[in-house]
Amino acid sequence: MSSNQQQTVSVYTVIKCVNGDYETERPFQDGDYVLKVVGTCPKDGRNLYIVGIYAVVPEEKKGS
């Protein structure tokens, strides 16, 4: 990749129930951090918390 090209990086937040029976992910939001409580589980009403944050970098297209 040349220095004048920019890559778009997608960042996601993984959210899980304290009980471990529910997991989802959503786009990263400002203020997200691992172990932050972000709501209640739709299955059992216990806390949902952030278990991970990761980025997806698109693969560089190689010219032929």
pLDDT at residue number 4: 52
Half-sphere exposure of 53 (CA within 13 A, CB side): 14
- Locate the domains of the chain by residue range: 10-56
pLDDT at residue number 60: 76
pLDDT at residue number 28: 98
CA dist 37 and 12 (Å) reads 16
CA dist 54 and 38 (Å) reads 17
pTM > 0.85: yes or no: no
pLDDT tens track for 1-54 = 555 566 789 999 999 999 989 999 999 999 999 999 999 999 999 999 999 999
How does DSSP assign 7-62, residue by residue?
Answer: ---EEEEEEEETTSS-EEEEE--TT--TT-EEEE-TTT--EEEEEEEEEEPPPPPP
CA dist 64 and 61 (Å) reads 10
